[in-house]
Amino acid sequence: MAAAAALLLCALLIFSGGPARASEETSEASPAEHEVSGAGNETEGGSAHGEAVITTLPIVSWKWEEVEVPYLVALWILVCWLCKLLIEANHHVTEYIPESALLICCGFILGGMIWGADKVQTFTLTPRVFFFYLLPQIILDAGYSMPNKLFFTNLGGILVYAIIGTCWNAASLGLSLWGCHKGGAMGDIEIGLLQYLLFGSLLAAVDPVAVLAVFEQVHVNEVLFIMVFGESLLNDGVTVVLFNVFDAFVTLGGAKINAAEIVKGIISFFVVAFGGSLLGFVFGLLISLLTRCTKKIQIIEPGFIFVLGYLAYLTAEMLSLSAILSITFCGICCQKYMNSNMDESSVQTVKYAIKVFANGSETMIFVFLGISAIDKTIWVWNTGFILLTLLFIMVYRIMGVFFLTWILNRTRLVPIEFIDQIIMSYGGLRGAVAYGLAVMLDETKIKEKNLMISTTLIVVYFTVIFQGVTLKPLVQWLKVKRASHSELTLIEKLQNRAFEHTLVAIEDISGQIGHNYMRDKWNKFEEKYMSWFLMKPSARKKQDRLFNAFHQLNLKDAMNYVDEGERRGSLEFIRNEGAFIDFKKKFDDEMSEAMPDIMADMSDDHGRAPPKRRDTVPSVSLELHEQSMRGNRAAEDFNSHHLLQQHLYKGRKQHRHRYSRSHFDINKDENEVQEIFQRTMKSRLESFKSGKMGVAPPKTITKHTKKEQQSKMLNGKNRSYLSGDEDFEFSEGDSASGYDASFPTRVAYRAGDGIENPAFMPDVDPSSTMHIPPWLADVELDSVAPSQRAQVRLPWTPGDLRRLSSLRTSVRSSDSFQLTDDRQGDRDELPPPPPPPPRRDGDSV
């Protein structure tokens, strides 16, 4: 692998040899500047091509100039990613040394090779490339994946560190260096007070890229993480302002600075920071609104956040507002609405794509930080200046953090611990933002620009490499509270919610207006107006976090269940596979837009008042399903098709692959699916009828159902079933689809409440189910439409849940399948597991 990389690199160097010499006069050529010079070349080359006299038709021709710039860019991306691949292949190394440090070292090597070949550094990180092409996606990712609640809970502290802390760092560093300069510690260099302050301001900010890279690998507790990370994101506003202000001051010269200018500087801080945030917020709203109506263009739906996020960044840059703040808040603001507006697969796409971009460009940034160092022209050594800078950065960071934390802890509910403060001070990593700003300095105004660049580079290397490497042992040694990577449990979620409500209630009772009160107010406002405005109506329905957690957990269980079954290759798994499919689908149905309508319908039908809804839709798993089946026909078809394809039609399977740029096409041909389905149903039904019971026309069965239902209700088992009306409607509406054929069985299932498999129908002697041969069981399974099996209420019945979760919590049983069978065997003896809760009583309370 190393050989391959080296080879590629050699190829790269050979190719780049030509253009490099061409652009030698610009000492810091870069892809971006190449673009300019390359474009020039191209036009020249083009005209040359035009003028070239063709004597014969060239079969192939060498057109390096035409592809040079994109080719180099692509090649560099590849090389950087290969570096990462190499590094990550050595897992034992990355355990001790953070990836970012290793990438910088890779950069050193690459830089050395280029230097060896060209004798000049052809490729360096230019501010333009960094700020316009590499940084935005990283920050967008940070904003998009920001844990909002944590962030806003700690926002006060974060702002204090980001604003006051950064100002303090800049001022103290600048003034101290100036003092040392006056004291003669640095020999003879031409830097004035303002230039020191400018230098201080560019080095003041903790770098989001470096912090993220290092802290991601050290799993510190979430409060500590959000403090450091939030600070690194938000201090950009301060840095930009400080940098611009001091840059302007340096240009103006000390004499022209008066109180008015300073006041202007302070005002500009507020404008830049809040303007940037506001702009990001607006763009975030825009994204949310746009994703409300992208149903028809689902394929490009995930692209909007990238385009609009980038636009937010560029617009802020254009208005000289804080671009980082803008794109951060854009991500923070849109994440919730976007994720619920878009299709699930689009959300996944965004999540992955944003990581690809962010991680990819992070890799490139670190590699190029390394490469940029291998350049004789920028290195100016001044021991005093460099060492003092390093020292002051460390010392003032520690002082700042401890002092600010001391102030914050006086009002914080849970004080920041001493150990956490140490890590916070130590985690003050500087990175590419500082370097980018340093390169942007104007050489005509600042004579010692190169000294500043080299000092910045040394500070970056020191913090990223040295502090990065030592941070992990330090965290371990100090026993910093780590993030608990717990598998989230439902009870935790539930309890967290209960805690929230409790705190709000207690604040209300004791008459306090605290965080919880404010958060509660905000949540209510958000729910009422923001969600209404920014979310699709259908998405608003599935907002309940607690229920979503439950949904996720169930999905995971089901997944494990199938995996387990597949691993064992056991028959039980095949028999129960349908359970899995229904499981998923039913949730979808449950959550679909159809829900409120049905609920409304039903309460109307039965003349009940809406507040009693809970009461009126008890066995929703049944009615709901039937109702929404009409609405969710496509999903239904897909599922049945899937099922059939898997088990029945292997031989005659007609797999059509259709290419489409605008759809992921699954075979949705209604007729075809219907046709296959009906044919299958018919043949299955034949065997089914002969095997089970006499056939009756659907309608009479429906009535039958009703009666039987009532008798069941007396048993107290099916207390929640309302009436057969829905069935009736259903059978009329869908009599052609073949679903109705399965009605008789359903009735039977209801009796067996909790039995998920048709093979275990109560009218068959339970003991005999054990003897059903595998092939028969399989047939049984397939003979039942998925919709119908959903009615069996697999995931909902406690018994089944227990069976599912027994897979997960191995405490209960090591062999879940055995358990299933056992349960089947002694079902008769088992008392109904859940004592029917006195629903009506509960309601009347």
Q: For residues 403-442, which are near other proteins according to CB under 8 A?
A: 411, 413-415
With 0-12 / 13-18 / 19 or more C-beta atoms within 10 angstroms meaning exposed / middle / buried, residue 702 is buried
Cβ proximity to other proteins, 149 vs 633, nearer residue: 149
- Per-residue tokens: 340: 């619920």
Q: How far apart are CA 840 and CA 40, in angstroms?
A: 81
Q: How far apart are CA 770 and CA 571, in angstroms?
A: 11
With 0-12 / 13-18 / 19 or more C-beta atoms within 10 angstroms meaning exposed / middle / buried, residue 170 is buried
| Least distance in angstroms from the C-beta of 424 to other proteins | 18
| Least distance in angstroms from the C-beta of 490 to other proteins | 5
With CB under 8 A as the contact rule, the residue among 128, 351, 355, 541 that binds other proteins is: 541
523 touching other proteins, by CB under 8 A? no
515 touching other proteins, by CB under 8 A? yes
Distance of CA 651 to the CA centre of its chain: 41
Q: How far apart are CA 816 and CA 100, in angstroms?
A: 45
Q: Which helix (H) or strand (E) holds 843?
A: helix 839-844
Q: How far apart are CA 497 and CA 711, in angstroms?
A: 40
Q: How far apart are CA 840 and CA 670, in angstroms?
A: 44
Give one DSSP letter per residue of 370-397, joined into a string.
HHHH--GGG----HHHHHHHHHHHHHHH
Q: What angle do CA 743, 744, 748 make, to 5 degrees?
A: 115
* Helix, strand or coil, per DSSP, at residue 103: helix
| Least distance in angstroms from the C-beta of 233 to other proteins | 23
Question: How big is the site for other proteins, counted in residues (CB under 8 A)?
Answer: 71
Residue 562: which residues within 8 A CB-CB, separation 6 or more? Answer: 573, 577, 580
Q: How far apart are CA 250 and CA 440, in angstroms?
A: 14
Find the binding residues for other proteins in span 102-131 (CB under 8 A).
none
Q: How far apart are CA 459 and CA 335, in angstroms?
A: 35
834 touching other proteins, by CB under 8 A? yes
805 touching other proteins, by CB under 8 A? yes
With CB under 8 A as the contact rule, the residue among 78, 266, 506, 518 that binds other proteins is: 506
520 touching other proteins, by CB under 8 A? yes
With CB under 8 A as the contact rule, the residue among 514, 631, 733, 762 that binds other proteins is: 514
Residue 483: which residues within 8 A CB-CB, separation 6 or more? Answer: 219, 220, 221, 222, 225
Find the binding residues for other proteins in span 700-739 (CB under 8 A).
720
With CB under 8 A as the contact rule, the residue among 544, 605, 763, 826 that binds other proteins is: 544
Give one DSSP letter per residue of 438-506, joined into a string.
HHHS-TTT-TTHHHHHHHHHHHHHIIIIIIHHHHHHHHHHTTPPBP--PPP-HHHHHHHHHHHHHHHHH
With CB under 8 A as the contact rule, the residue among 613, 692, 699, 704 that binds other proteins is: 613
Distance of CA 583 to the CA centre of its chain: 25
56 touching other proteins, by CB under 8 A? no
With CB under 8 A as the contact rule, the residue among 590, 734, 740, 756 that binds other proteins is: 590
831 touching other proteins, by CB under 8 A? no
With 0-12 / 13-18 / 19 or more C-beta atoms within 10 angstroms meaning exposed / middle / buried, residue 355 is middle
Cβ proximity to other proteins, 336 vs 397, nearer residue: 336
With CB under 8 A as the contact rule, the residue among 26, 345, 512, 570 that binds other proteins is: 512
Cβ proximity to other proteins, 364 vs 620, nearer residue: 620
Cβ proximity to other proteins, 308 vs 602, nearer residue: 602
| Least distance in angstroms from the C-beta of 13 to other proteins | 53
| Least distance in angstroms from the C-beta of 487 to other proteins | 9
511 touching other proteins, by CB under 8 A? yes
With CB under 8 A as the contact rule, the residue among 533, 566, 798, 822 that binds other proteins is: 798
Of the listed pieces 21-29, 228-236, 345-353, 807-815, which binds other proteins according to CB under 8 A?
A: 807-815
With CB under 8 A as the contact rule, the residue among 287, 439, 446, 617 that binds other proteins is: 617
Q: How far apart are CA 694 and CA 57, in angstroms?
A: 82
With CB under 8 A as the contact rule, the residue among 17, 40, 156, 842 that binds other proteins is: 842
Cβ proximity to other proteins, 433 vs 598, nearer residue: 598
Q: What angle do CA 674, 676, 677 make, to 5 degrees?
A: 60
| Least distance in angstroms from the C-beta of 796 to other proteins | 5
- Per-residue tokens: 364: 């490139």
| Least distance in angstroms from the C-beta of 816 to other proteins | 14
345 touching other proteins, by CB under 8 A? no
| Least distance in angstroms from the C-beta of 615 to other proteins | 8
With 0-12 / 13-18 / 19 or more C-beta atoms within 10 angstroms meaning exposed / middle / buried, residue 525 is exposed
Of the listed pieces 73-81, 429-437, 526-534, 832-840, which binds other proteins according to CB under 8 A?
A: 832-840
Find the binding residues for other proteins in span 546-575 (CB under 8 A).
546-547, 550, 553-554
| Least distance in angstroms from the C-beta of 759 to other proteins | 23
Side-chain-side CA neighbours of 787 within 13 Å: the count stands at 30
In 695-809, alpha helices (H): 698-715, 725-733, 743-751, 774-782, 786-791, 798-808
Cβ proximity to other proteins, 328 vs 797, nearer residue: 797
| Least distance in angstroms from the C-beta of 481 to other proteins | 9
Cβ proximity to other proteins, 202 vs 504, nearer residue: 504
Q: How far apart are CA 504 and CA 512, in angstroms?
A: 9
With CB under 8 A as the contact rule, the residue among 21, 119, 376, 501 that binds other proteins is: 501
Of the listed pieces 96-104, 447-455, 465-473, 618-626, which binds other proteins according to CB under 8 A?
A: 618-626
Q: What angle do CA 251, 257, 258 make, to 5 degrees?
A: 160
With CB under 8 A as the contact rule, the residue among 183, 651, 773, 835 that binds other proteins is: 835
With CB under 8 A as the contact rule, the residue among 27, 349, 496, 813 that binds other proteins is: 496
User: x/- string (CB under 8 A) for other proteins, residues 648-677?
Assistant: ------------------------------
Of the listed pieces 187-195, 610-618, 689-697, 761-769, which binds other proteins according to CB under 8 A?
A: 610-618
| Least distance in angstroms from the C-beta of 836 to other proteins | 9
With CB under 8 A as the contact rule, the residue among 619, 680, 745, 769 that binds other proteins is: 619
Residue 262: which residues within 8 A CB-CB, separation 6 or more? Answer: none
Of the listed pieces 203-211, 422-430, 613-621, 775-783, which binds other proteins according to CB under 8 A?
A: 613-621
Find the binding residues for other proteins in span 451-490 (CB under 8 A).
484, 486, 489-490
First to last CA, the chain: 71
